[in-house]
Structure 1
Amino acid sequence: MNAHPGLGGLLLVVDDEPQVRAALVRCLQEQYEVLSAASGSEALSLLGKHPVDLILSDQRMPDMSGVDFFARTRISHPEVLRILITGYSEPEDMIRSINEAAVYQFVAKPWQPDHLLLIVKRALEGRELARRHRLLSRELKFADDVLRRETEGIVKLLQETYRFDRLIFASDGMAQACNLARKAAVTDLPVLIHGETGTGKELMARAVHFFSQRSDYPFLAQNCGALPDELLHSELFGHKRGSFTGAIGDRLGLFPAADGGTVFLDEISEVSPSFQVSLLRFLQEGEVKPLGTNDTRHCNVRIIAASNRPLKELVQQGKFRQDLYFRLRGFEVDIPPLRERPDDIPVLAEYAAEKYAEAIGRKIAGISQEVMRRLKAHPFPGNVRELENEVRRMVALAEEGEFLSVRHMSPEFVRLAPNKETSAAVFLRGKETLKQKVESLEAELVTQSLLRHKWNHSRAARELGLSRVGLANKIKRYQLDERQMEGGGS
């Protein structure tokens, strides 16, 4: 491969005469990266390994003609530009070449270097303009959809329908959540975010901060789960040296450090009743008292809290203070789980593929339709985080310029059968008795719940409203086992 730290594309030169091939390479490699091949078959092999943008081929070659070679690449690599170097003089021969091989341009022998470079430059410029036109057309179509949704009162602004800071989405449910969050951002009220693990609660919190009047001040985050009260108090309010074992120096604390900005408290449902009192006092008075001192200081901090469990239910169960709940829920934003917004899966997958490919300096041609079908068939118990991890793994396995395909997917995705008809669909048409139909539907619901929770009996039983013994009886009755995951469900 003859490479130049290049100016606009990867070219493939195909000619069986070594001197002519070398002359073409010398002419082109000053401005482009250039591959060369001595035959059509060798060129086809190179096309399978490299993301070629344009091919220049001689018409007369021993194994196949230039037109025959281009006719094959028209099917296998339709996006590649094709320029034929030929001694054709008859118009009917040129017309045949255009019809059979979709030749972009002809270069007559003997070719002139300046003329050849101009043709290549114009071809690549035209290709880039066509690509930009497709992107703009897609954006305009999307804008039309946005205007339609605005009239229905679903969204207010174009940017809110597909992006809210780093949150990417296309579904109406997510658009409504982000609409509410953006309205909350311009106020100074606390925000309470509900959502399953991996749905993007911290990204939502950052977006609220970014669109607020506090955006020039710090955004600091603290996970409240599994921290003892003393340590959590130290992290948020600060401490003085020697105030407890291991306190070898003064600590400012997140509330004073974020003065003027925002503090995000994740897993707020996990804090102890005694710490709930401390947090409530801070929300009421705005005062911070570090451990080991009687000194207090006032902090102007906005609180955004998040929970993967509904706080309202915890209040009803007596596990969370009602007054603190009301203080936190100035605005309450619910992020739907990914399984309830399948329209977001394609845009999230494409965004993740582009992001991770760029991070490792690799070009990815796109994501195959079969991959998209399997992604949409997966329940994603880990939500967006699970989707991103799967796409990141696929990008790492893919070669340069390759489409992400099923062979790059994890085994659990490969085993999915997205086109397989479920027993729920059969239920609507079958000739079975009512009892048989109900049992068929029950077996399907149990199976899908088990799949969603990766065969975790406790979680599946809780979702279905069954005891573990009741779920075990259903599994035994319908002869379900983990091998059903091989096919994506019964």
Structure 2
Amino acid sequence: MSIESTILFIADACPELRAAAEALAREPDYRVIMAARDGEAADVLNDAHVDLILADVESADFDIVAFLSRLRFTHPDLVRILLVGGEPGLRLSEALARTAAYQYLTKPLQAEQACLVVKRALETRELARRHRRLVRELKIGDDSTFLHGKPDGVAKGEASHFERLVYASEAMSELCGLAREVARTDLPILIEGETGTGKELLARALHFHSRRSSSPLMVQNCGGVRDELLHSELFGHKRGAFTGAVSDRLGLFRAADGGTVFLDEISEISPSFQVSLLRFLQEGEVKPLGCDQTMHANVRIIAASNKPLKQLVKAGQFREDLYFRLKGFDLEVPPLRARPADIPVLTEFFVRKHGGLLSNRVLGVSNDVIEIFKAYRFPGNVRELENEVRRMVALAKDGEYLTRRHLSPALATLRASANDRLALKPDGRTLKEMVESLEGQLVRQVLEKCRWNQSKAARELGLSRVGLANKIRRYALADGMTRAG
């Protein structure tokens, strides 16, 4: 296989299982991750894009069958292979049914057999994926009998992954390529981007690809947290340091020693806490509340902000020295509206995800829906797209395609404007006249979509209020505003 596949090995350490894992890891197309407990396995699945799980169902630490059964719905594309001991029996049959496992292997495990079964399992999954695509594109086979109202074509696309980030656009490909490179360094990273673009997923992927991946990743949202509590969360406190401090607290910096701490909404911290954070970044010093002793912690900081910190620095709201300390590398996640090529693959990913969670077999998404998604601005970005798809999947019947009628009312009303935008016709004899005609039509469309709210329309067009007012006068659009009122 040309693309590296990730295999999660869930088992207690023993010679034959370790030998099989090492044999798989020697294959150039496989990345093998070991986990001994459910917490470790869940953390890996939260941070990494895993293709196949090899799990010892006789693990004494936790109920692996129940764990794998949940993955049928949360990770429907994940291939599951069970490792069992002794003779197959009723208990194995029950485990295979509950987990929907692809295959089982008996212990003691042979490395060559494990490699062969893993290879065949991944090949089978790829063939099934291609078959699903062909059925959707050609609208053939038995699935078409479930279709209520044929969609105008079915959305398709090839997705790439940077762990849990899913994308197809050139912009995200360049971003994730750079992120893979900077992950291997030890410098702080600043991730900027609008709310809902996937900054935390990027931070988790960075940690997973770093040299600190075997140590903890701790996450702290700094938004709306008062200084005393934030200091306690990050630096820790001693018992009695403040009201409610009934026991000692280690703090995330010391708890993540050797690992990574992700600070979300870093723009929201107060000027006084900015000083404390700056000192930590400079010296690695940790002084818990109520403690006279200074300690040290070795962590990498990944910070994220949905506000441009550079502008906050210019406005005097954020320390310049802290900004440059945080910005060892600066990664900016583009908004969804700036990468429309990601919309089809993200939509398909969310359909599979939520179709599995709701036990709803959705066959695909019509191109009409994708075009409406591309016409919509998605102020909530990927998070808003996921919410919309989840709602559509919940409304769809088993065996249906998602079409226009499943859209929420706010997006369903965009159909006309989306089609009209494609049907813009320039008017005039010269190039200048035709360009001005198109500009006037586009300004009118945005004004109508925003119900003639000029502030909102100006933001969407990237104009000032004065600039928009000038274009309204220039193209004699004010009469439409009167009618709208």
Q: Could you tell me how far 1:341 is from its partner in structure 2?
A: 0.6
Give the paired residue count.
Answer: 335
- The answer on 1:301 being equivalent to 2:299 is yes
- Match of residue 313, structure 2, among 315, 330, 337: 315
Name whichever of 230-239 and 191-200 sits farther off.
230-239
The aligned runs of 1:395-434 (5 Å cut-off) are 395-417=393-415, 420-422=419-421, 425-426=424-425, 428-430=426-428
CA separation of 1:248 and 1:131: change in aligned 2, threshold 3 A? closer
SS in 1 for 2:282: helix
Alignment of 1:315-394 (within 5 A): 315-394=313-392
Contact 2:203–2:302, Cα closer than 8 Å, also in 1: yes
Letter in 2 for 1:400: D
Structure 1 partner of 2:478: 477
RMSD: 3.6
Q: Compared with structure 1, are the counterparts of its residues 442 and 283 closer, same or farther at alpha carbon in structure 2 (3 Å cutoff)? A: farther
For the pair 1:203 / 2:201, whether they are aligned, the reply is yes
Write the letter of the residue equivalent to 1:132.
L
Contact persistence 1:423–1:444 (CA under 8 A): no
Please tell me whether residue 235 in structure 1 is matched to residue 233 in structure 2.
Answer: yes
Structure number with the bigger relative contact order (C-alpha 8 A, sep ≥ 6) is 2
Tell whether the 8 Å contact from 1:424 to 1:441 is kept in structure 2 after alignment: no
Q: 1:247 pairs with 245, 248, 269, which one?
A: 245
Displacement, 1:430? 3.7
How far apart are the structure 2 equivalents of 1:357 and 1:447? 35
Q: How many angstroms does 1:295 deviate by?
A: 1.6
Aligned to 1:24: none
Give the TM-score, by structure 2 length. Answer: 0.61
Pair 1:340–1:449, CA change in 2 (3 A)? farther
**Could you give the per-residue CA deviations for residues 360-408 of structure 1, whole angstroms, max 9, x where no partner exists?**
2221111122222221221111110011111111111111121111111
Letter in 1 for 2:203: A
Cα distance change of structure 1 residues 420 and 450 upon mapping to structure 2, 3 Å threshold: closer
CA contact (8 A) 2:427 2:433 kept: no
Q: Is the 8 A contact 2:175 2:333 kept in 1?
A: yes
Q: Tell me which residue corresponds to 1:184.
A: 182
Q: Distance in 2 between matches of 1:470 and 1:366?
A: 40
What pairs up with 1:23-422 in 2 under 5 angstroms?
132=127, 135=130, 162-417=160-415, 420-422=419-421
SS of 1:192's equivalent? strand
Q: Residue 198 and residue 450 in structure 1: after superposition, are their counterparts in 2 closer, same or farther (change >3 A)?
A: farther
3-state SS of paired residue (1:208): helix
Amino acid at match of 1:244: F
CA 1:319–1:442 in 2, change beyond 3 Å: closer, same or farther? farther
- Residue 109 of structure 2 aligns with which residue? none
**1:327-374 deviation per Cα after TM superposition (whole angstroms, max 9, x unaligned):** 111111111111111000000000000011111222111112222222
* Separation of aligned partners in 2, 1:419 and 1:459: 18
- Give the aligned partner of residue 466 of structure 1: 464
SS of equivalent to 1:292: coil
Larger radius of gyration: 1
SS in 2 for 1:421: helix
1:25-61 CA distance string (max 9 Å, x none): xxxxxxxxxxxxxxxxxxxxxxxxxxxxxxxxxxxxx
Asked whether the equivalents of residues 159 and 345 of structure 2 are also in contact (C-alpha less than 8 Å), the reply is no
Identity of aligned residues (%): 55
Shift of the 371–286 alpha-carbon distance from structure 1 to 2, 3 Å rule, reads same
Segments of 4+ moved more than 4 angstroms: 128-131, 136-139, 431-440, 449-452, 454-463, 467-476, 480-484
- Paired with 1:294 and 1:444, the residues of 2 have a C-alpha distance of 64
Deviations 1:171-194 (A, max 9, x none): 000001111111111111111111
Distance 1:354 1:161 in 2: 13
Q: One-letter code of the match for 1:479?
A: G
Deviations along 1:64-96, one digit per CA (max 9) or x if unpaired, are: xxxxxxxxxxxxxxxxxxxxxxxxxxxxxxxxx
CA spacing shift, 1:131–1:247, aligned 2, 3 Å: closer
Q: TM-score with structure 1 length normalisation? A: 0.61
SS of 2:397 mapped into structure 1? coil
1:362 is aligned with what amino acid?
A: N
- Give ranges in structure 1 of 5+ residues lacking alignment: 1-127, 140-159, 485-490
Matches of 1:175 and 1:278, distance apart in 2: 36
